[in-house]
Structure 1
Amino acid sequence: MEKSLHLLRQSEWRVIDQSAVGIHFHPLQSFGTDDTLCASVGTGHAPATARTWVHHHTIVLGIQDTRLPFLEKGREFLEQQGYQSIVRNSGGLAVVLDEGVLNISLILPETEKGIDINRGYDTMWHLIQQMFADFADRPIEAREIVGSYCPGSYDLSIDGKKFAGISQRRLKKGVAVQIYLCVNGSGSKRAELIKQFYEIARGGEETRFSYPEIVPEVMASLSELLNQNFTIADVMMRLLKELKRNSDFLYAGQLNDYELELFPGYYQRVIDRNEKM
């Protein structure tokens, strides 16, 4: 864990906060933006950057999900429930994004030796632990929560209930460590939606890939787990406080001129991948 502290410690942190404008931009733009930031931060055209974002009524599918035998039926079901579905370019399986889910991307430059994949995960885990350090009696663990959607060895949980998942994206010597945090709302209701999606999209057929058997009760939001009515803004304040503590200079920014030039190309790649899927 000690090495991960060094990654969180940066001389400057730029914060691009898009947590309040999610209804006005498409989720695919978020993935195009993170790729742009990877290329920019990785090549030294921008400092380490934290980007926060919220999207409404969106299911983000993983590459493996696109191989489900009845995928279109599953997507039709999601649409009937009021959710759009897209495919992301980082690892993992289906996750729910809505107005109660805060996404945080930490975009870091790879050092000469490179950033070991677990260091990236540990950095995000440490950040979230520090953000909620005032709940010391409710430790945040990182381990796979069987029965959750998009399970992985860095599922973040309290008392065995998952509230967050982490993924990584590497590009042009930049590393984006991305987390979705279920801040408020019902974690089990989100899990029930994904459970039904898999049941419909799998259609009872045997598949080469082992999709998760979802148990909705193993998922919850931070508000449920910590018995607090957290808003997205509350968690944003905790994040900014931690980043400030770990830098000499914290400032709010937007894409710079170099990034604005790069963005259309990366955004188009994300669109093309989704159309292909």
Structure 2
Amino acid sequence: MKEKNETGLGLPAPFYIWDRSETPMEGDVLLPFAYEEWLCRLIGRGELPAGVHLWRHRGAAVLGLRDRRLPEAEAAMAQFAAEGWSVAVRNSGGALVPLDEGVVNVTLMLPNPAGVMEHRADFRRMVALLTETLRDAWGLRAEAGEIAGAYCPGEYDVSVDGRKFCGIAQRRQLRASAVQAFVVAGGSGSALAARARRFYDTAAGARAGESGLDYPVVEPGFTASLAELTGDAALDAAAFKRALIRSLERHGAVRAAEPPVPPQGELERLVAAMRERYDKRA
């Protein structure tokens, strides 16, 4: 499938919206990551156009590789699992991200036929999409830059007035890439941050505070939901999704009638492979 002209955000056309966010997912949180892995493979082979995948999860702790290596990580993971949260190590960069119904996961999946490493350009494309959405829908001025004290801190944190509402990670394949944004739309950002801090308090164990231990120091006041940032309690995941889709459609995106369906057993196979590869201490 050949690419046509690009949209204003530099998105290849055609560009599709695959929305699976209407009902929050439950169960294994690796399933949506496996779904995106499958989509990216098809996009990389030219069998699918580029697209954005939208999804939510009712309660999950998605770890980065460095979180899994903390001395008491297994105890912290077990604590979350005992409370009914799905716990997994994702195949993209970054650190722990807690998910609940108020978090909208937005993943841009783009072909990269030349195999060129342009990860900063992909991050900037996601930041541009989010800042445009917030400006047009709520008049908010969002900007990118690391927010110390937020969970999963990074160069491409997206924040308003110094409070982070979104983190961005990336997954690259040979001929495609996925840029993942975890947008705290509704609910309490500080409550999610408190969960992240509790994970690290347990996972660091007796070595908490040691300079050689690699984990973020999370302070709840540095993360906020869009509802909190606007002061609009009615702003929720659905409201953010509608605003985001309006932005995407202005740039030529088309809502797909139905998301692509993988072959039976394919997602379970990919989940098993991801868990075998990434869910290890060393």
* Common topology (TM > 0.5): yes
- State which drifts further: 153-162 or 113-122: 113-122
Asked if structure 1 preserves the Cα contact closer than 8 Å seen for 2:102 and 2:187, the reply is yes
Asked if structure 1 preserves the Cα contact closer than 8 Å seen for 2:114 and 2:175, the reply is no
The 5 A counterparts of 1:211-250 are: 211-228=215-232, 229-247=234-252, 249-250=254-255
User: For the residues of structure 1 that align with 2:279 and 2:157, how far apart are their CA atoms?
Assistant: 30
Partner of 1:189: 191
The 5 A counterparts of 1:9-20 are: 9-20=11-22
Identity %: 33
Closer, same or farther in 2 for the Cα pair 1:8/1:25, shift >3 Å?
farther
Asked if structure 1 preserves the Cα contact closer than 8 Å seen for 2:138 and 2:230, the reply is no
Instruction: Pick the aligned partner of 1:85 from 80, 84, 87.
Output: 87
Asked if structure 1 preserves the Cα contact closer than 8 Å seen for 2:29 and 2:86, the reply is no
Measure how far apart 1:81 and its partner are. 3.9
Partner of 2:130: 128
User: For the residues of structure 2 that align with 1:208 and 1:226, how far apart are their CA atoms?
Assistant: 39
The 5 A counterparts of 1:1-277 are: 8-24=10-26, 26-112=28-114, 114=116, 116-134=118-136, 138-205=140-207, 206=210, 208-228=212-232, 229-247=234-252, 249-255=254-260, 263-273=267-277, 276=280
Number of aligned positions between the proteins: 273
Q: Deviation per CA, 1:207-266, whole angstroms, max 9, x where unpaired? A: 734211111111100110012221222122112212211127543332256x77864543
Asked if structure 2 preserves the Cα contact closer than 8 Å seen for 1:43 and 1:172, the reply is no
**Paired amino acid for 2:12:** Q
User: For the residues of structure 2 that align with 1:69 and 1:276, how far apart are their CA atoms?
Assistant: 12
- State which drifts further: 79-88 or 40-49: 79-88
**Could you say what secondary structure the match of 1:189 adopts?**
helix
Structure number having the greater helix percentage: 1
TM-score relative to the length of structure 2: 0.88
Asked if structure 2 preserves the Cα contact closer than 8 Å seen for 1:62 and 1:91, the reply is yes
TM-score relative to the length of structure 1: 0.89
**Could you say what secondary structure the match of 2:101 adopts?**
coil
Q: Deviation per CA, 1:80-125, whole angstroms, max 9, x where unpaired? A: 4442311101011111111110001110011537251111100100
Partner of 2:3: none
User: For the residues of structure 2 that align with 1:129 and 1:122, how far apart are their CA atoms?
Assistant: 10
Q: Deviation per CA, 1:182-213, whole angstroms, max 9, x where unpaired? A: 01111111111111111111113137342111
User: For the residues of structure 1 that align with 2:264 and 2:130, how far apart are their CA atoms?
Assistant: 30
Structure 1 gaps of 5+ residues are: none
Structure 2 gaps of 5+ residues are: 1-5
